[in-house]
Structures are given as structure tokens and as C-alpha cells.
Structure 1
Amino acid sequence: MSSIKNGRRPTARDVARVAGVSQPAVSRAFTEGASIAVETRDKVLRAAKELGYRPNLIARSLTTSRSRLVGVAMSYLENPFYPAMLERIAAILADAGYKVLLFTSPPGAPCEPLLEDVLRNRVDALILASASITSRFAEECSRAGVPVVLVNRRTPGHRTSTVTGMNEDGAVVIAERIARAGHRRPAFMAGLENASTSQERERGFLRGLVAAGLPEPLRVVGHFDFERARSAMRALLALPKPPDAVFCANDYMALAALQTLHEESALRPGRDISIIGFDDIPAAAWPSFALSTFSQPYALMAERVVARVLDQLRHPGRPAVEDVVPGSFLQRRSSRPVRA
């Protein structure tokens, strides 16, 4: 068995010597899509395993101009929807030979401060989840050859590919079901005021209520935050005439509303009042919550996101795509069923 003296790390030259091939052949063996005979690749891989050799990804990125890193920027990691999606995105990218580099920022913060980090870390592409993109950010990324895909956000006026759920149409369905369940005093709990997801869901909810002949809903803001959503729910319950149905702009706030009801009110979810969310996070199906919601399948969204990223990496300059992932209403105990 060959060995490396003095405990130094094996190099591509060592692998070439043991395998009996040239050093460029070693490089081609570890480069996806490179032209190399199967027998030669097998020799190189056997020698690399014997020596404990690992290719230097940083050095290779300088040569190929590809880091095999995809940046993912997220703001709401306390919301279970986003960690679940991140895990799935990372798994699909790993199958394609890429690794994920996570960037975090405060909820509602502009994406500009991330720009230097993104470009400094030489990511091949960037996935922006729950964040809006500005003109400067888009231009700088385009100039650096870094494609950007937005997840669960839409930014009008920018040619950026997006993957979203059925935000507006799903909210119309929720309004229709509230009306058909016999409710007459609806309320809407918004997320962040500048978030396109909250805006679209509110717009669809209003449209559906008008079509069903129901009044404009009471409105509170939960800021996509658990404790602030609890405070917003308390404000609704303190009204002389509390609502009999509350649509929350995401499940995370809806769970906060349900917890507030259980702990601080005699109203019974699904009978005296309906609480409905949007996303269908895993906790929504737990028996203690049994939250009615409109699903936003994070696994399918993750697949679409990675498909958009890989397509843009393989075909730079392709037009931006707006991808809407289908979902459906899930009736559980937190809301009244519709009347026949």
C-alpha cells in the first residue's frame, strides 16, 4: 500500500503517481461531465481512496469559476415551514452535486446587507426565501453572473424567477368556506405589511368575501411572529363583538391564535369560532391543534425552486419564470365544516 510521509495531505500529484496516470487525468476524474475513460476514472478513484485524497473544492472553483455552492437566504427560521423547505432544498441540491450556504437576516429587513456576503462567498446561485429583491440587488447579482430565484415572494418590476403557492386563489377558497360555514363576522390577521405573501392572501380573502356577500373583515397584524400574533388575537377577543372566523396569513400565527383561545377564552374552535391558517406545516395536523389550512406543499416547492436554479445555471439568460405550486384546503377541527 502506498503511503504519504510526514503526515502531509495527499495531493493530486500523489494520486496520479499511484494510479499511473497524468495529473490532468486526476482533475478530470473529479470534474462532473469531464471526458475521461471509465477505466482511467476507476484507477484514479481507487488511488484516491487508498491515499485518503479529497479534491480541493476552493482551488477547483478558482479554475472552473464554479464553487458548487448555492446560497439560501431566509428570515423566518422560527416558522417550521422554512426549515422544512430548507432541508428539502439541500437534499435535492446535494443529489445534483451542490452544497447549500445559508444566509440569515432579520424578518422584514432589506436584502441589501446580504449582497456583499453573497458575492464574497462566490455562490453559483442564490435562493431568496421570504425576502424581497431590490433593483440594485438584482443588478449586482446579474453583473456577477449569480442567478436569483425568489421563494414565497413576488417582487413586481424585477425579472426574477419566482416559486409561490396559490396565495390569492387559496385565500378566495378560504373566504368561500367561511361563508358556507355560516360565519358572518370575519377577521384577517396580516403578516408583515410589506410581504407580498400577506398582501396577496389578504387581497384574495377580500375578493372572496365580497363575492360571498360578507362584510369587510376586521383586521389585525401579527407580523408573522408567534407572540405578536397572540397579542393580535387578544385584541380581537377583547372587542364588544369578536369575530366568528379568523383567517391568519400563515399557520404559525394561526397556531398562536389557537393557543390564545385555549388558554384565555371560553370560545371553542370549530364551533363558536373558526381559525384557519395557510401553509399546512407539520404541526397543523397535530391533534392538539387540528388546524384547518390551505396547503402550500414545501417539498414540491423545493423541487420547483431547485429546477429553476439548475435551469438558469445551465442556460444563462433564459427569461424569468413565475411558477405557482398548486395547493388545496384541508378541513380540520379548528374550523366549522361547510353547510350542505
Structure 2
Amino acid sequence: MPPRPLARITIKDLARDLGMSVATVARAFHSGGTIAEGTRQAVLKRAAELGYQPNALARGMITRHTRIVGVVLSDLENPFYPQVLTRLTEALQQVGLNVMLVVAEPSGSVDSAMRLLLSYQPEYAVILATTLTTGAAAACRAAGTPLLFFNRAPAEEEACAVVCDNAAGAAAVADHLVACGARRLAFLGGRPDTSTHAERRAGFLERCAAHGLPAPLEAPAGAFTYAAGYAAAQRLLAAPERPEALFCANDILAIGAMQAARREFGLRIPRDLAIAGFDDVAMASWPEHDLTTLRQPIPAMVELAVRWVCRSAAGEAPPQGTLRLPGTLVVRGTTRPGTPSLPAPALEDQA
């Protein structure tokens, strides 16, 4: 028979072992607790010997300072979001905050995920890759939990959000494709109900019009996935008027479109078709993709998000409005063969 697991040591067990009250032992684990230093050290030493760990979650529930930042996410398959989540988690842990991740159904309501998150009394909630319903937003206000939207621009003017300047980034992609000699352009979009899709589409179409070009062809994919990009590109490239350049609303769509162009139509990238994406996920730079893309300023966005969270935790009123940070065009082989990538810009302090 396997050995039975040892019972978890509780604060009552530790107090009984030391012959002290539970209150005295509890104060030893608080840096501001009123307790003699010798007593504190004795408690900590015996706790280490017995393997006792304070229950931070229970303590947070009592003090109403859980040090939890909840993150609501619905698209873990898109490599952009795990990349953001890793950086955000590391940055929050460095300032003594912990991340609790709840996943909403990609095509469903976020309300149930938000109810689960609020049951743990987070001090802040960060919304990634999902849209909040009116009911979920009201529940956060009722709980006194401030909201921060990351890579999503909310409709409410009083909401707080940090995003890449999607429209300006898409316009920069249009300028680059035109500079490469393309005149028949196309846009391959993702989910039409997302701000990222809408802003990138608007920025691209407006800049094409400013160049005096005909309206770009459009291939709605309906999702930000490889399969959706592949299928949408098949439909687009089968049309009689094939585009010379294709801008995809994210890198995964672009990689799917690139594979469709090569496998289904035998097209040479970029000689027969130039392709550009948006985000600059890690695989965009892989040699088999070598994808031209618009790099989102993730380090600066994360730094700003953590700063806002810390201000709120310190009792300051949360900021309002949407701050848009500029991205950087990264030129690779799918639009101009043999051109090295542009260097990443130095981070600037954002208020």
C-alpha cells in the first residue's frame, strides 16, 4: 500500500505545539504585527521544522486584501495571449501580486467565468481576448473590483484600457505594401465583433483609400485561427481578381493564409503574393514563415498595466479611457525578400 499523505499542519497545530495562542502565532507571519522579535523567530523556526505554510488566500479573505489580480481569457490557442500572460504574471509577481486565471468559452458568455473570479475577491481584474457583457461589468462594479482591458478597446468611455494603436499599425502595413509595388490589396479579418479586427480593418482601408487605391478585397475568416485563415485565403485566392498583397488581422491568420497560397495555388511568397500579419508572435520569425508583421509593444503595455494595478491597490482611483501605444513594423521575407527585420524600439515611459 502506498503511504498515507501527511495531514496538513494548521495554525492551531503550530500554536498548540509552541504553547502560544493562535493570535500570537498569526502575528509572527505579518511584517507589521506587534510581537517580540525573539518570539517571532521562534515561531518561524518551528513553522519551518513542521512544514507549516500560512494560508495566504484565507488571510486575504479576512483582511479583504487578497493580492490577487484576476485575468479573464478566452483564447489560449492564440500564441499571442500566452506570451502576454507570461510577461504579465512575471511582472505582477515581482510587485507582490498573484495572478488567478479564469478561462471563458471562446464563443460563449463571460459571465460564469467572471462570477467564479469574483468569488475569490480579486483586487483587480484584467480582461484579455474577450468582451465583457453588461451583466459581468455590473457584477464587477458591485464587488468594487476595478477592470482593466488589455488588447481590447471597450465601448464604455469610462473604462480603462491599454492597447496597441491598431489603426496606425494597419496603416503602416498598407504603406509598406504599397511601397513594395502592390496595387491590388486585400484584408483578411478575424472575429468581426472584436475591437482588434474593427480597428485594424478601418486603419488599413482608410490608408489604402488615401493612396488612391481601389477598395481592398475582403476575406472574412470569422476567427483568429490558422484553420480560419487557411479557409478564407482559399476563397479569396480562387476569385478571378487575385490580390497582389494580403494583410491579415493577426499572425496566425497570416500563417494559415500563407500555407493555403503555397499548397493550394502554388504561389510564391512574396513574388506572386505578399503577406503581412499583426502581433509578431514568436513563430512569425521562424525561417519557414519569415513573416512581415506589426509588432505589438507588449513590454510597454504590460509595464503600464502593472503600474495602473499598483496605483489602484494603493487606493488611488483607477484611470479612465483607452491608451494606445504605437507598434513597430517588422519587415521580413513575405513582403521583401532578403530584408532584415527592423530593430525593436526602446521603451519610453508612459504615464
Distance 1:221 1:38 in 2: 66
Aligned to 2:254: 254
Q: Which AA in structure 1 matches 2:172?
A: V
Aligned to 2:135: 136
Distance 2:97 2:312 in 1: 14
Aligned to 2:342: none
In the TM superposition, residue 18 of structure 1 has moved relative to its aligned partner by 6.9
**Is the alpha carbon distance of 1:235 and 1:147 closer, same or farther for their aligned partners in structure 2, counting shifts above 3 Å?**
same
CA contact under 8 A between 1:72 and 1:126: conserved in structure 2?
yes
Q: Normalising by structure 2, what TM-score?
A: 0.86
CA contact under 8 A between 2:225 and 2:253: conserved in structure 1?
yes
Aligned to 1:270: 270
Aligned-pair identity in percent equals: 37
Distance 2:203 2:37 in 1: 56
Q: Does the alignment pair 1:174 with 2:173?
A: yes
Q: How many residues are matched?
A: 333
Aligned to 1:314: 314
In the TM superposition, residue 181 of structure 1 has moved relative to its aligned partner by 1.0
Distance 2:336 2:313 in 1: 47
Q: Mean alpha-carbon deviation: is it higher for 119-128 or for 105-114?
A: 105-114
In the TM superposition, residue 187 of structure 1 has moved relative to its aligned partner by 0.3
Greater relative contact order (Cα 8 A, min sep 6): structure 1 or 2?
1
In the TM superposition, residue 33 of structure 1 has moved relative to its aligned partner by 5.9
Q: Does the alignment pair 1:72 with 2:68?
A: no
SS of corresponding position for 1:122:
coil
Q: Mean alpha-carbon deviation: is it higher for 171-180 or for 310-319?
A: 310-319
CA contact under 8 A between 2:169 and 2:326: conserved in structure 1?
no
Aligned to 1:219: 218
In the TM superposition, residue 32 of structure 1 has moved relative to its aligned partner by 6.0
In the TM superposition, residue 316 of structure 1 has moved relative to its aligned partner by 4.9
Aligned to 1:164: 163
Q: Normalising by structure 1, what TM-score?
A: 0.88
Distance 1:210 1:289 in 2: 29
SS of corresponding position for 1:90:
helix
Q: Mean alpha-carbon deviation: is it higher for 203-212 or for 27-36?
A: 27-36
Deviation readout 1:188-221 (Å, 9 max, x if unpaired)? 0111111001100111111211222221110011
Q: Which AA in structure 2 matches 1:132?
A: T
Distance 2:260 2:193 in 1: 26
Q: Which AA in structure 2 matches 1:46?
A: K
Aligned to 1:232: 232
Aligned to 1:289: 289
CA contact under 8 A between 2:160 and 2:320: conserved in structure 1?
yes
Task: Name stretches of at least 5 consecutive residues in structure 1 with no aligned partner.
Answer: 1-6
Pairing of 1:325-336 with structure 2 (within 5 A): 325-336=325-336
Aligned to 1:119: 118
CA contact under 8 A between 1:75 and 1:106: conserved in structure 2?
yes
**Is the alpha carbon distance of 1:211 and 1:34 closer, same or farther for their aligned partners in structure 2, counting shifts above 3 Å?**
farther
SS of corresponding position for 2:272:
coil
Distance 2:291 2:300 in 1: 21
Aligned to 2:83: 84
CA RMSD in angstroms comes to 2.6
Distance 2:230 2:82 in 1: 22
Q: Mean alpha-carbon deviation: is it higher for 22-31 or for 43-52?
A: 22-31
In the TM superposition, residue 17 of structure 1 has moved relative to its aligned partner by 7.0
**Is the alpha carbon distance of 1:279 and 1:186 closer, same or farther for their aligned partners in structure 2, counting shifts above 3 Å?**
same
**Is the alpha carbon distance of 1:8 and 1:186 closer, same or farther for their aligned partners in structure 2, counting shifts above 3 Å?**
closer
In the TM superposition, residue 128 of structure 1 has moved relative to its aligned partner by 0.8
CA contact under 8 A between 1:234 and 1:260: conserved in structure 2?
yes
CA contact under 8 A between 1:81 and 1:298: conserved in structure 2?
no
Q: Mean alpha-carbon deviation: is it higher for 305-314 or for 279-288?
A: 305-314
**Is the alpha carbon distance of 1:117 and 1:316 closer, same or farther for their aligned partners in structure 2, counting shifts above 3 Å?**
farther
Q: Which AA in structure 2 matches 1:300?
A: A
Distance 1:278 1:21 in 2: 60
Aligned to 2:62: 63
CA contact under 8 A between 2:224 and 2:250: conserved in structure 1?
yes
Distance 2:159 2:181 in 1: 41
Q: Mean alpha-carbon deviation: is it higher for 261-270 or for 244-253?
A: 261-270
Q: Which AA in structure 1 matches 2:244?
A: D
Deviation readout 1:153-200 (Å, 9 max, x if unpaired)? 011225221111121111111111111111010000111111001100
